[in-house]
Every structure is written in structure tokens, then in C-alpha cells.
Amino acid sequence: MTVLAFLFVIAICVISHEWGHYITARLFGVQVHEFAFGMGPVLFGRKRWNTLWTFRLFPVGGFVRLAGMGEERGNEELLPGGGFFEKSAWRRFLILSAGAALNILLAVGITAFLLMTRGVMDLKSTTIGEIMTEYPAAEAGLRQGDTILAVNDEPATSWEPMAKALREAGHHGTVRILVERESDRFTVETTLRKDPQSGVFLFGIRPRIITYPFFEALGRSFGYIFEMSRDILSGILSWLFGKQKMDVTGPVGIATMAGEAVKQGLWSFLSFLAVINLNLGILNLLPFPALDGGRLIFLLGEMLTGRKFPERWEYYVHLAGFVVLISLILLVTWKDIVTLAGSQ
């Protein structure tokens, strides 16, 4: 199940990324020699729409081979006007950035779907969504839909501050809780119970789950993805400046996490798929040689100066970056294997 989950995640991420490059290249009249899923030797392939579609031995990546980039093979011909470098800088910029953009848009789409179907905890209110059995809230007769207005006479307006106030009040004995039910208000006095596992005093309630209609879910998903992107970039910058450590994982680690997500159910797996696509999209836009972001830096320089960087030197820069990336992937993969073996 772990292997299948990993292959499904990688297939979705890679195919959507490369499809972004492919469809944008075709839109701008660039000839595409090959659309490949996987790396290494070709297992099978088929030519359609003037493009060779291949499945390769190692399903951990993929690529689109664009005409005019010096990668023509065998009897492949470069049609007039179909070369990548024959296009204007802004068209090449869009082609290179489309892969990461599609990964990010896929993350937005999955998040919107989750907001419409699974929903999200309503932490902006103090309305109870679930009563946990054998805890003080159930014993006090609270119901789903009740709203907590105050804890020990301190107003409660959102879930997290209210939950914190309850946890802290649990250390001091009896807690007074003002509750609203429909148009009635009443006070509950109770003693909270300490959870044996976490050691935290619990009242025994959970927030309600709310879903959104399509357009609101889509708008909110952009907000969630923006916040997650900001957190990812902030973490990378903090790591670069030595302010915090970063836990990096490779294919083995991703496979393990994919398997765990599947075990937790469909919603957990979809959330994981959205996060992986977002990370892939952002990391590909980083200004590092061999990544899309590294190529975009050269294009930005060309657009600003009007002069193209020599293709030969750009090739060597990206080749060096590719070697570094492969070395890092192998190092991280070895670390993941050692960690996994140690946990068995």
C-alpha cells in the first residue's frame, strides 16, 4: 500500500508538472519531442500528436524534451519555428514556469475540494461541534450547537483562546462556564479532567466542522495556499541563515509519509497530496541551477538586459546544478533508509 500510494503521489505530481510545460509549449508553437514519466531506460513508448510518450524504469521523476534545446535524438527533426530558443523571452518564461504553476494550482484545487466536502474546523467561533463521552461537558449536559460565551467570567470569542482558558482554569478547581443554547443562557460549574496521555485538563468538546460553497471554498483555498507558501519560504530562509534546522526528506521518506496518509483515510491522503504538490511547485521555482527557477533567472537577466546568456555556458551551469541535486537526493535517500531501518 505504501508503494502504491507513493507511485500515485509521484505520478500526479510529475505528470501535472510536466503537463504544464507541455501544454504551454504547444500553445506557443514549440515542438515537443518527448513527454516522459520516470527516469532511466525506456520501458515502452508511443508516438501521438508528433510527441513520443514514454514510461521509464524509475518512476521518480519525468521531463518534457523540447525541440531546439540541443537534445534531438536519432532522426528527430526541428521544424521551422518550432524551437524553444526561437521564441521570445516572455514566452520561454511562461513555458518554464508553467510546470510549477500547475502544481500550485493543483494544490489550490485539492484544498478547495476539501473545503467543500470535508470542511474545516471553525476556530473563529466557540460553537461546540462534538461532545466527547465520559468527560465533564457530557456529564454537564452540554450539546452539539451550544456556544461557550465565557470561562470564569472572561469573555470567549474564538476557539483557541477559549480552549487555552479552559486548560489553565483546570488547575484551579471548579470552572464556571457561561453557555448559550438557542436563545437561553445558563452557567455550568464543573471540574475538568486531566487527560492521562497528554496531562492536559480537558472539558471534552471539539469545534464544529464547516463546509463552503464552490466560489467561497476556492477563494479560501487561495488564502490557505498563500499562508502555507509563506511558511515554507520563511522556513527555507531561516534554514539558510542558520536560525533553525530543516528536516529534509527524499523519495523513501515521501513514500513512508504517503503510506501513513493512506492509512489515515482519503481526506488525510488528499491533504498530503496537496501539500506535496505545493512543496514541489515552490521548490522548483527556487533560483537554483537545473531547477526551473534557475533557468528563469537567466531569462529574467535576458529580459532586463536584452542580451542572451551564451547557451553553452548556461548548459554547464545547469549541468553542475543537476549533479549537485542528484548528490543531495542520494544523500537524503540514504538518510531516510537509515532512519527507516532504525525505526523497525
Domain ranges for the chain: 2-17+88-119+216-343, 29-86, 128-210
Phi, psi of 198 (to 5 degrees): -95, -20
Per-residue model confidence (pLDDT) at position 259:
85
Alpha-carbon distance of 271 to 278, in angstroms, equals 11
What's the confidence (pLDDT) of residue 343? 62
Which ranges of the chain have pLDDT less than 50? none
Q: Which amino acid is at 162?
A: M
What pLDDT is recorded for position 127?
95
Distance CA 60, CA 329 (A): 11
Q: Tally the residues of the chain.
A: 344
Residue 340's pLDDT is what? Answer: 66
Distance CA 343, CA 327 (A): 25
Q: What is the pLDDT of residue 308?
A: 80
Q: pLDDT at position 323, please? A: 85
Residue type, 328: L
Q: 98 vs 25, 49, 91, 192, 237, CA distance in Å?
A: 9, 20, 11, 54, 24
With CA atoms as reference, report the closest residue to 149 among 189, 180, 123. 180
CATH code for the domain defined by 128-210? 2.30.42.10
Give this prediction's pTM. 0.83
Contact 51, 33 (CB under 8 A): yes
